[in-house]
Structure 1
Amino acid sequence: MLKKIPKVLSPQLVKALMEMGHGDEIVLGDANFPGCSLSTNVIRADGLSGAVLLKAILEL
């Protein structure tokens, strides 16, 4: 059972984080970041600031 996962993190984002390995990178970009032109895997977190997302990710 997964415990202490912040509610602001979507299941899709948690899955992506769990599948990451050494050397993998993640970008927390704002609304103007051209994510779709740089990657095939884009996970949106509309309505959340980068600071809120980063804090939630660091709690894992």
Structure 2
Amino acid sequence: MLKGIPPILNADVLYALRAMGHGDDLIIADTNFPSDSVARDTTLGELLRIDAPAAEVVQAVLSLYPIDTFVDDAAARMEVVGEPDTILPVMEEVQAEVSAVDGPTMIGVERFDFYDRARDAYAVIQTGERRFYGCFAFRKGVIPPDEG
């Protein structure tokens, strides 16, 4: 355990978050997402896991990870098939965590387009989230220099 770092963030996840650069995508996926096969196509090339609900994982990640402010699609959710405007409770919970760090409203991404975005991502974290459509993408932003 380290002070100031949420304990659910394991060493592998911390390594990936630190290694990512501005514009890299991070996927936080539910248990039904084909995370292992998709993760093999990512930059990292291996699956990361945190066995906790999606909103808890997002909260921990966003405590360290800046969301990009230069693009309109920096925060995204997988759309419900056939109901792109439906916002499920898991999506509301994650949006609350994004909003808590002054992040944008998540955009919807069609299911197969989301899979493509995930394959192009830097890394995939599979969560313990069992509710459907608990899949999210976050583009990494920048941390400004200290003033002085």
TM-score (norm 2): 0.37
Deviations 1:1-51 (A, max 9, x none): x741111111110110000012211111010000112122210112x0110
Contiguous gaps of at least 5 residues in structure 1: none
- Residue 47 of structure 2 corresponds to residue 42 of structure 1: yes
1:54 aligns with one of 49, 53, 58: 58
Structure 1 or 2, whichever has the larger Rg, is: 2
Partner of 2:8: 8
Q: What secondary structure, in the 3-state scheme, does the structure 1 residue paired with 2:28 have?
A: coil
Contiguous gaps of at least 5 residues in structure 2: 41-45, 65-148
Q: 1: CA distance between counterparts of 2:22 and 2:10?
A: 22
Q: 2: CA distance between counterparts of 1:39 and 1:29?
A: 11
Identity %: 40
Runs in 1 of length 4+ with deviation above 4 angstroms?
A: none
With CA pairs under 8 Å and 6+ residues apart, which has the higher RCO, 1 or 2?
1
Higher helix proportion (structure 1 or 2): 1
Q: What secondary structure, in the 3-state scheme, does the structure 1 residue paired with 2:48 have?
A: coil
TM-score (norm 1): 0.83
Q: 1: CA distance between counterparts of 2:19 and 2:3?
A: 18
C-alpha RMSD of matched pairs (Å): 1.4
Higher strand proportion (structure 1 or 2): 2
Partner of 1:17: 17
